[in-house]
Chain A
């Protein structure tokens, strides 16, 4: 089974797992889940289409309280 990292943590990939599916598996259905894949930001519109690959480095961020 292939895996990637999400915020530095190992994540076992399902077959053809997309960014949208990743967020669903992580329980992140917030309106703003911000995703970077291998250092490049992923456009929200393409979350359902971008398939994750083995060894991808994924960062998931979101808006938090700040000034």
Chain B
């Protein structure tokens, strides 16, 4: 593996194929411990108005200095909302990378494909590196590629649900067709889900809740790191075709057979 297998997004090279979120941790130090243990080089943050009555510490000061912050547009219900958040983040000094989320529906948290495409086109035009969160629709993925998105990020299952690779077949088609990295984002629950996504050929996975809500987040982050690595190696080594039973030991010379 090593350098030759690094992930390239928007011209930037990453050794880690695990991207992590910073949400839902009990504390910033706990979050920082998990991020460090995950080995992630790309870390998502949200953007929110400062609450002058209830100020906690500065999240970014807890993160390892070498990680690239990936602002998301979580909370945006329309394309315009998302574009506004991305512009605000970049103007204020955050990277010109954006995890684009346009989610009008608060119950199932499913992304709006049309709003996502509209916002992606505007943001790419303004020079952003756009990583869109999307339902795993291969044709939408193609449209997002065509407008210049750096990746496509299909959900495995609803955000925060931990249900695993429920949309496997659609994600498999996306992986076959995609010309940009496919990052499986949302819904992974166990490290084995991440391994399965990587074995399928995903270029990376993004995990937040599954790590943050584990009893021991840093340990779970390390487990996901290993699972992503295992899945990637399995994919590169080419998983065998499924077939009917076939003995692994010789049929000749069985003791007691003659």
Known A66-B21, A66-B74, A67-B159; 12 more pairs at CB < 8 Å: A7-B49, A7-B52, A26-B50, A31-B60, A32-B92, A34-B92, A44-B93, A61-B50, A65-B22, A67-B24, A67-B74, A67-B208
- Known contacts: A7-B52, A9-B52, A26-B52. The answer to whether A64 contacts B47 by CB under 8 A is yes
Q: Which of B28, B71, B159, B186 contacts A63 (CB 8 A)?
A: B71
A24 an interface residue at 8 Å Cβ cutoff?
A: no
A60 an interface residue at 8 Å Cβ cutoff?
A: yes
A34 and B45 within 8 A (CB): no
Which residues 19-62 in A have Cβ within 8 Å of B in the complex?
Answer: 26, 28, 30-36, 41-44, 59-62
Q: 4 closest Cβ contacts across the A-B interface?
A: A66-B46, A67-B21, A34-B92, A67-B208
Chain B residues touching A, majority SS = mixed
Name B's A-contacting residues (CB within 8 A). 21-25, 28, 31, 44-52, 58-61, 69, 71-72, 74, 84, 87-94, 159-160, 186, 206, 208-209
A59 and B91 within 8 A (CB): no
A-B contact pairs, 21 of them (CB 8 A): A6-B52, A7-B50, A30-B61, A31-B58, A33-B50, A34-B88, A34-B94, A36-B84, A60-B49, A61-B49, A61-B88, A62-B48, A64-B45, A65-B21, A65-B25, A65-B28, A66-B21, A67-B22, A67-B24, A67-B74, A67-B160
Residues of chain B lying within 8 A (CB to CB) of residue A42: 91-92
Give Cα A64–Cα B43 distance, bound, in whole angstroms: 12
Q: Which of A35, A63, A67 contacts B59 (CB 8 A)?
A: A63
Residues of chain A lying within 8 A (CB to CB) of residue B206: 67
